[in-house]
A and B are shown apart, each in its own frame.
Chain A
Amino acid sequence: MLDRYGIVALFAFVAVLFPAIPLLFSWVIRPKKPNKSKRATYECGLEFEDFPEAAQQVWVQFRVQYFIYALIFVVFDIEVVFLYPWAVAYNALGLFALVEMIIFLGILALALAYAWRKGLLEWT
C-alpha cells in the first residue's frame, strides 16, 4: 500500500517539476525588454495612455448565477462521493442497496427538479 502511494507521491513531485523546467529554461534564453505599452493591460478599443483607469478597473459585476451553479455543484459532488462506494459494493448488497439508492437518487432528483422549477438553472 505504502509503496504504491509512494509512487503517486513521486508523480506529484514530477508534476510540480515538469512545468517548472521549461519555464526556467525559457527564462534563461528569452529576451527581456519590457516597456510601458507592452506591459499595459489589454483593452479593446481604448488607448491605455488615454484611459488608464478604465483599463485597470477589473471589478466587473458578476451574475449571481455563477454562485448558484457552484452551490448545486457542491450538492451533486458530495452525492457522487456517496455513490462510488455504493457502486463498488453493489454486488454484495443485493436488492436492498438498489432500493436505498433509488430513494437517495430520488431525493436528489427532487432537489434538481426544485432548482429547475424555481428557475435557478435559467441563465437570464
Chain B
Amino acid sequence: MDFLNNIFPNIYEWIAYWIQSLVAGLNLPKDAESALVTAIMALLVIIAIILWMVVMVLILIWLERKNAARIQDRVGPNRVGPWGLLQPVADTIKMFIKEDIVPENADRFVHTIAPMIAMLPAVLMFAVIPWGKGMFPVDLNIGVLWIVAVASIGTIGVFLGGYGSNNKYSLLGGMRAVAQMVSYEIPQVLTIIPIVLMVGSMSLVKINEAQSGWFGMQWFVFAFPVGTIAFVVYYLSALAEVGRTPFDIPEGESEIVAGYMTEYSGMKWALFYLAEYFNFFIVCIIGATLFLGGWNGPFLPGYVWLIGKVYALVLLGMWIRMTWPRFRVDQLMNFAWKVLVPIALVNIVLAGIALPIFKMIGF
C-alpha cells in the first residue's frame, strides 16, 4: 500500500539522485549545483506531465466518440486498431500532414498566435495541480487563485482566433465565446470561495489534506448544504466555461458554422481542439480536488482515486453533452447571471454562517 502510494515520489527521488551525481561532476559552486538539479528535475516533471496529458486527451477523444456512439445507438470508431483505439493516433497524423489554409484577408500573425495563446493556460494550470500524495510540481500558497487567474487567458486566445480570421462567423463566435466565458467565470470563481473558507488556505495540497478525515471520505461535497450546492454550481459553470455542448453557443454549428474555428485547419485547429480537451480535463481535476476529496479515499492509492474521480466527472460531462440540446444565447446568459450568480452569493454567506456549526460537529 505504502509502496504503491510512494512509487512516483520514489522514482522522482531516484532520478533526482542520478542527476545530482551527474551534475556533481561539473564542479559547480554548491547553490548553483542545487539550483541546476532543481531546474532539470522541474523540466523533466513538466515534460512528463505534458506527455501524460496528451495520452489522456487521446484516450478522452476515443472515449467521447465511443460514448457518443453508444448513446446514439451507433458503433463508433472500430476500424483502426482494436475497438478503434488507435483512431485518435490516426487523427493526429492526419492533422500533422494537413495543409494549413490561411484566408487571404486574415491577420496572419494573430491567426497563428491565437491557438498558441489558447493552449497557454492549459499548460500553466498544471503547475499547481496535485496528482497524489507528494505528487505535485509546486505547492503555491495561492494555488486556487493561480488557476482562476490563469484560466482567463484562454478567453483572449479564443477572441484573437475569431478576430484574426477576418470572417463574420469567426468574429461572432469569438464575441459569443468571450461573453459566455466571462459570464460563467463569475459563478465558477464564487463557488470556490466556500471551500477556501472551510480550509482557510488557497493551497491545493492543503485543500486535499483537509478532506482526509473519515477514512478518506470527508469530501467537501458531503458538507451539506454548502459544499453540495457549491459542487453543482461549479460543475455546471465549468461545463459552460469550457464550452461543452449544452453551452456550446460559441461554436454552434447550426448558427455560425464553427464559431471562432471556422477558418482554422490542420495543426492550428488541432491546437484549439487539444486546448478544449485539456481545459475540460483540468476543470474535472479541479472539481475532483476541491469537492470530491482529490487523492483521498480508502484502500486504493491516491492517484488511482484522483483519476477515477476525474473520469467519473468526465463521463458525466459526456453524458450531459449527448443528452441535452443547445441553449439559446439569452437562456445561457440568464442562467449565469440570474440563477448561478445569486445562488453562489447566497452560498458564500451560508458558508460563513455554517462554518462554526461544521467545526462543532467535527467536519
Interface residues of A (CB under 8 A from B): 3-8, 10-12, 14-16, 18-20, 22-23, 25-27, 29-34, 38-44, 56, 58, 60, 62, 65-66, 69-70, 72-73, 76-77, 80, 83-84, 87-91, 97-98, 101-102, 105, 108-109, 112, 116, 121-124
Contacts and interface: CB of A to CB of B under 8 A. Distances in A.
Interface stretch (B183-191, B305-313, B314-322): B183-191
B349 A102 contact: yes
B32 interface: no
Contacts of B266: 26, 30
A69 B123 contact: no
Interface of B: 35, 38-39, 42-43, 46-47, 50, 95-106, 112, 115-116, 119-120, 122-124, 126-127, 137-140, 144-146, 148, 166-169, 171-172, 175, 178-179, 182-183, 185-186, 189-190, 193-194, 196-197, 200-202, 257, 262-263, 266-268, 270-271, 329-330, 333-334, 337-338, 341-342, 345, 348-349, 352-353, 355
12 contacts: A12-B124, A19-B116, A22-B96, A27-B267, A30-B97, A31-B97, A42-B169, A56-B105, A60-B168, A66-B179, A80-B148, A87-B193
A42 B167 contact: yes
B127 A8 contact: yes
Contacts of B139: 4
> What's the dominant secondary structure at chain A's contact region?
helix
A31 B266 CA distance: 11
Nearest to A2: B35
Contacts of A102: 349, 352
Contacts of B329: 123
A84 to B, nearest CB: 6
A98 B47 CA distance: 44
Contacts of B96: 22, 25-26, 29-30
